[in-house]
Structure 1
Amino acid sequence: MADKFAIITGASTGIGFELATLAAKDGYDILVVADEPLIDAAAADFKQFGTDVRSVEADLSTIAGVDALLAATDGRRIDLLCANAGKGLGHGFLDQNVDDWRHVIDTNITGTLYLLHKVLPAMVARDDGKVLVTGSIAGFIPGSFQAVYNGTKAFVDSFTDALRNEIKESTGVTLTTLMPGPVETEFFQRADMLDTSVGASESKSDPADVAKDGWDALMAGKASIVSGWKNKVQAVMANVTPAAVLAEQHRTMAEPGSADK
């Protein structure tokens, strides 16, 4: 058993899988979670690095799912948390099913906040711990045809900035926000966005590169990191571009059928 322990959520594929790989390589025992059986196969892959690996299949959009994850720690001290689990949802808001958009909100916001609310007090009390939360540059942009998802990421980006200030007296605890742009993962398939310009694009970031950017920022105790130079430029421009213009630009990327235009 290693002397340091990490939880990584959304670890079955994509950024979460790469973060878990980096944690195991760095000598952390890890507890990985996702809402699909694939998490067990991912856990088997992480074991190659020689640390203890446990996996949990749980729906982190629910309080019960987060509680099940925390119960799987068996009371062990959590040294590092990568709160990476997230859901996307394409198409126009008025065309979306209520259960679908609620699941996005409950996964990206409610589950993330509840997990932080349960894990951070012990870190703050002992003045030691690291947390990485996956936000997005989508939080800077009104997301036409992806409005709920972008709205949740705007919340996460803002919330982590505020929470970081609230716990600033605990200098041994760091809270880092990872803000990628479009990443080559299963996200767009699961969000039913493969027929969109952004979903079909071949210029999306490599999840391994994004995870490495986030991990390096986390280890350095940075407040936030926008992964990729193009995304850094886009994030800067979003601060000086009118919201209506940003929304129209996003429409050209995310409107259903835009991949054929």
Structure 2
Amino acid sequence: MADKFAIITGASTGIGFELASIAAENGYDLLVVADEPLIEAAAADFKRHGVAVRALEADLATIEGVDRLLAETKGRRIDLVCANAGRGLGHGFLDQDVADWRRVIDTNVTGTIYLLQKVLKEMVARGDGKILITGSIAGFIPGSFQAVYNGTKAFIDSFADAIRNEIKETKGVTVTTLMPGPVETEFFERADMLDTNVGASEKKSDPTDVARDGWDALMKGEAHIVSGWKNKVQAAVAHVTPAAVLAEQHRKMAEPGSAGKS
């Protein structure tokens, strides 16, 4: 058993998988979780680094799922949490089923902040711990044809800033927000966005690079990291561009059937 213990959510694929790999390489025992059976295969991969790994298939869109995750720690001290689990949803808001957009909100917001409240209480009490929250530069942009998802990321980006300020006197606890742009993962397929410009684009970031940026910022205790220089430019521009212009730009990226159109 290692001296360090980390929880990584959404660890079966993509950014979460890469974050868990990096944590294992750095000697952290792991509790990895996802809402699909593939998490077991991912856990087997992490074990190659010689650390203890437990895998859990759980629905982190529910309070019960988060409670199952916390129970699986068996009371062990949690040194690091990568709150990476997230869900996307494309198409126009009026065409979306209530169950689908609620699941996005419950995964990206409710389950995430419930987990953070639980683990941060213990970290603040002992004055030690690290949190990495996967936000997005999407939180800076009104998300036409991805309105609920972008709204959840705006919440997460803002929430992290607020919590960081609330616990600023606890010097040993850090909260870092990782804010990538589009990443080459299963996200766009699962969100039914493969027929969009952004979904079909070959210019997405590599999840390995994004995870490494997030991990480096986490270890330094930085507040934010926007992964990729193009995304840094886009984030900066978003702060000074009218919302209506941003929404129209996002429409061109995310409107169904826009793939291949300028």
TM bucket normalised to smaller: over 0.9
- In structure 2, what is the equivalent of residue 238 of structure 1? 238
Q: Distance in 2 between matches of 1:227 and 1:108?
A: 19
Unaligned runs of 5+ in 2: none
Deviations 1:218-254 (A, max 9, x none): 0000001000000000000000000000000000000
Q: Distance in 2 between matches of 1:200 and 1:50?
A: 38
Q: Distance in 2 between matches of 1:239 and 1:18?
A: 30
TM-score by length of 1: 1.00
Unaligned runs of 5+ in 1: none
- In structure 1, what is the equivalent of residue 36 of structure 2? 36
- In structure 1, what is the equivalent of residue 73 of structure 2? 73
Please list, as runs of the form range in 1=range in 2, the aligned pairs for 1:1-261 lying within 5 A after superposition: 1-261=1-261
Q: Distance in 1 between matches of 2:122 and 2:72?
A: 17
Q: Distance in 2 between matches of 1:182 and 1:15?
A: 11
Q: Distance in 2 between matches of 1:186 and 1:232?
A: 23
RMSD: 0.4
Secondary structure in structure 1 of the residue aligned to 2:225: strand
Deviations 1:4-42 (A, max 9, x none): 000000000000000000000000000000000000000
Q: Distance in 2 between matches of 1:90 and 1:230?
A: 23
Question: Aligned letter for 2:57?
Answer: E
Deviations 1:56-77 (A, max 9, x none): 0000000000000011000000
TM-score by length of 2: 0.99
Q: Distance in 1 between matches of 2:219 and 2:28?
A: 13
Secondary structure in structure 2 of the residue aligned to 1:258: coil
Secondary structure in structure 1 of the residue aligned to 2:174: strand
Q: Distance in 2 between matches of 1:118 and 1:129?
A: 13
Moved over 3 A (4+): none
Question: Aligned letter for 1:47?
Answer: K
Question: Aligned letter for 2:256?
Answer: P
Q: Distance in 2 between matches of 1:89 and 1:55?
A: 26
Offset at residue 175 of structure 1 (A): 0.3
Offset at residue 260 of structure 1 (A): 3.5
Q: Distance in 2 between matches of 1:35 and 1:155?
A: 22
Question: Aligned letter for 1:227?
Answer: S
Secondary structure in structure 2 of the residue aligned to 1:259: coil
